[in-house]
Amino acid sequence: MRTLLVTALAFASTANAQEQGFDAHGFVPGPVEATVRDPITWVRPGVFFPGDAYVAVIGEYVRRPLVAVTTSESGGDLSERALIRDLAVANIVGGVAFHERLRLDVAVPVYAVSANDGGVMGPAPGDVRSTLTGVFFRPDETVGGGGAGLGASIWLDAPTGMPERYLGREGIGGGGRLSFTAESPVVTMNTFVGMQFDPSIDVANVTGSDTFLGGLGFAFALSDTVGLGVEAHGAFSLSQNTIKGSASPAEALMALKVIGDGGRPVYTIGVGRAITRGIGAPDLRAFVGIAVGRKKGLREADTDIVSSVLVADECPVEPETRNGYQDEDGCPDQLGTVRPMVTFEGQPRLGSVLTIVGLDEAYESPLRSEMTPLTVLPGTELSASAISDGCLTGEFGLTVAEGDNALTVDLQRVLDARVTVQVEDLDGNHIEGAEVAWLSDTPLCVPGDAQTVGSSGRVQTAVGAGEHNLVVDAEGYEMIYESFVFESGQDRDLAVVLTPIVVEEPEPQNALVVVERRRIVILEKVLFETAKAVIRPESFELLDQVSQIIVENPQVGRVEVGGHTDSRGSDRYNLELSQRRSDAVRAFLIRRGVTEDRLIAVGNGEERPIADNETEEGREANRRVEFNLIDVPEDDQPTDAEPTPDAPVQETP
């Protein structure tokens, strides 16, 4: 049986010195932490917390980890010679958890004594192994254990050892493993499968490099502070050696772990021996170690069994909900669901920018028709603010409770920019009776009605922050149409000087408007500033003629001012833009003397194209304003009035 417990390495009788080497130590300690569930030689996907860290020193004695087996020149009996007879090692290991699912462990062996038939050799460093472990899922964070864990580890072996002593690799090595754990209150099962990748080896009959790895172990919790672990691990080489079975070393180990008061220090003592031949599987391995560090303690389990009620369990007959919120009280609970909303006058205000402070990450988002609810720990203090159109603002504070929480910010109009408009003529005289009005792409941010200048020559009003257009009109004077930008809380004085209209011999005016049976046809387009509802001055003469036709022909009845856009932009945006432009044209005509009850503004958006939106010419034609006569009877109904001869009339064919 003894020959099965040594490492077999067959050399030719002349092979006294080698050009290559390998690592015959065969032992890398796993994490030494304040838990009795960990295996001895690999990283378990168990419970750890960010900031958990440790450092340990494990003293080790190894008997005959590397043996040469030779044959006589006549090919007779085999003889054995220990290349490494006695090996003393100081394993320095340490680790830190960066996250509850990610940790790093480092193992550094220092070979204090290496004895063989040639005598005792001095201290030598070994290969340094760095292992990074990620956890896919892990057991519950309870003292009694429970559940399963699955993780993956990758490691790198730096060639810092001494290959000429068979205590180090010739080059960089490494590998990876997939590990699994399953816990019960007393027994923990640990297992893994993986591969080790090493530089190629060609020493005597030892060839190859890469090996399959596997291991199985059980840890028994004798108490909260004492544990016994047994395990077996082995390797299967992709290349077979001359001595049958020597390429698959396997070893069994047993270790006792004792945890000191407060979780530190941690003492470990154990033994192991080979169960199959191979490099690194010794006759005997004995080790003892001590570790110190910090580790967050596990919480007591919520058993909810009346006969064994825990003092910390406030709900002994109901299970704890594991969600990160009050998991220590043993009671069912639920996180808070926060549903954000922004309203104005009781209606959702889509597009409003909502900002929430108090979450783990910054939150700023425009309001959409479907908003994803937020999951927040109960008791969290949130403060929300929202803004729309520059002058609609609101705030809301909320302490999150379990279950559904409505976070609704109600917007209010904030017209806090104070404006004084002084209207004078060129001589500095007040112009009493002048009309002052405001137009804007954000109509809620300006007054809705025009103001009449009194004897003081000025009017005062309030507007919201943003860009707005001032319109000042007085009989006998040129109209002023100018844009201004205002800031919240600003006080501003505007001096408007109107220029008298010079009456000259009228020149023949080209007719830009034709009345048909069901519509007023304009021979030019109504022009607006790009993406705005601001009428450009070039269209004032056209709209003056439209207003004149409507005023002088009361028999045509009511007029629908219809706005249209091309297909670029969203349906909602185009509909709103066309409505604002229709409103702006209606307001202009009213200032030119058309009574309000005769004008209806309708925004049609992109719904009624008259040309192909795929071409620039077609899109230009579709951007238009139409004037439709909505009170004209059908063709088969008699009319009570005909258009007056003063208005140019063209019958529809």
In this prediction, residues 613-617 reach a mean pLDDT of: 89
Contact between 394 and 383 (Cβ < 8 Å): no
Mean pLDDT for 120-141 is: 89
Where are the domain boundaries for CATH 2.40.160.40 in the chain? 2-68+80-294
DSSP 602-642: EE-TTSS-SS-TTSHHHHHHHSEEEEEESSPPPTTS--S--
Strands 201-203 vs 392-399: parallel, antiparallel or unpaired: unpaired
How confident is the model over 501-545, as pLDDT tens digits? 776 555 556 778 888 888 898 888 999 888 888 888 888 989 999
CB 195 within 8 Å of CB 211: yes
Q: Give strand ranges (E) for 172-260.
A: 173-183, 187-197, 201-203, 206-208, 211-221, 226-237, 250-259
Query: Quick one: pLDDT band at residue 223, thresholds 50, 70, 90?
Result: confident
Q: What is the mean pLDDT of the chain?
A: 83
CATH classification of 336-413, choosing from 3.30.530.20, 3.40.50.1370, 2.60.40.1120, 3.40.50.410? 2.60.40.1120
Residue 260 above 60 pLDDT? yes
Residue 413 three-state SS: strand
Say what the pLDDT of residue 13 is: 34
pLDDT at 157 > cutoff 90? yes
Please report which confidence band the pLDDT of residue 243 belongs to, taking 50, 70 and 90 as the band edges: low
Contacts 24+ apart (CB under 8 A), 591-598: 591/435, 591/437, 591/450, 591/471, 591/473, 592/543, 592/544, 592/547, 592/548, 592/551, 593/547, 593/551, 594/547, 594/550, 594/551, 594/559, 597/558, 598/550, 598/557, 598/558, 598/559
Q: What 3-state DSSP class applies to 509?
A: coil
CATH architecture of 513-629: 2-Layer Sandwich (3.30)
Residues 6+ apart with CB under 8 A from 262: none
Q: Is residue 7's pLDDT more than 70?
A: no
Residues of the chain with CATH 3.30.1330.60: 513-629
Q: Which fold has domain 417-497?
A: Immunoglobulin-like (2.60.40)
With the C-alpha atoms ordered 586, 591, 593, 595, is the resulting torsion angle positive or negative? positive
DSSP E strand stretches across 123-172: 124-125, 128-137, 147-158
Encoded tokens for 283: 């006759």
Angle, in degrees to the nearest 10, between helices 540-552 and 571-591? 60
Q: What is the pLDDT of residue 110?
A: 95
Residues 6+ apart with CB under 8 A from 277: 3, 4, 5, 6, 7, 8, 243, 245, 246, 248, 249
Above 80 in pLDDT, residue 336? yes
pLDDT for res 239: 60
pLDDT at 423 over 50: yes
Residue 444 neighbours by CB under 8 Å, 6+ apart: 389, 391, 392, 413, 464
> What are the tokens at 151?
């993780």
Specify whether domain 2-68+80-294 bears CATH 2.40.160.40: yes
d(C-alpha 599, C-alpha 589), whole Å: 9
pLDDT at 302 over 60: no
Token readout for 633 is 């009877």
Q: Which residue has the higher pLDDT, 129 or 36?
A: 129
- The 10 Å CB-count burial string (b at 16+, else e) for 616-643 is eeebebbbbbbbebeebeeeeeeeeeeb
* CA-to-CA dists, residue 312 to 206, 268, 297, 379, angstroms: 60, 32, 15, 21
* Calpha distance 446→438 (Å, rounded): 6
Name which of 6-10, 241-245, 551-555 the model is least confident about: 6-10
* Range 153-163 average pLDDT: 92
Residues 237 and 279 sit within 8 Å (Cβ to Cβ): no
> How buried is residue 402: exposed, middle or buried, by Cβ count under 10 Å (0-12/13-18/19+)?
middle
Contact 301, 309 (CB under 8 A): no
Residue located via tokens 């860009």: 467
pLDDT of residue 318: 66
CB-based burial of residue 489 (10 Å sphere; 0-12 exposed, 13-18 middle, 19+ buried)?
exposed
Q: What is the pLDDT of residue 105?
A: 96
Q: What is the pLDDT of residue 558?
A: 92
pLDDT of 508: 55
Least confident among 93-102, 222-231, 240-249, 325-334: 240-249
The pLDDT of 24-28, averaged and rounded, is: 90
CA distance 379 to 376: 9
Give per-residue pLDDT as tens, 616-651. 899 999 999 999 998 887 665 554 444 443 433 333
pLDDT higher at 129 or 205: 129
- The whole-angstrom separation of Cα 346 and Cα 361 is 29
Give ranges for CATH 2.60.40.1120 in the chain.
336-413, 417-497
The structure's pTM equals: 0.48
Q: Give yes or no for a cis peptide into 265 (omega within 30° of 0).
A: yes
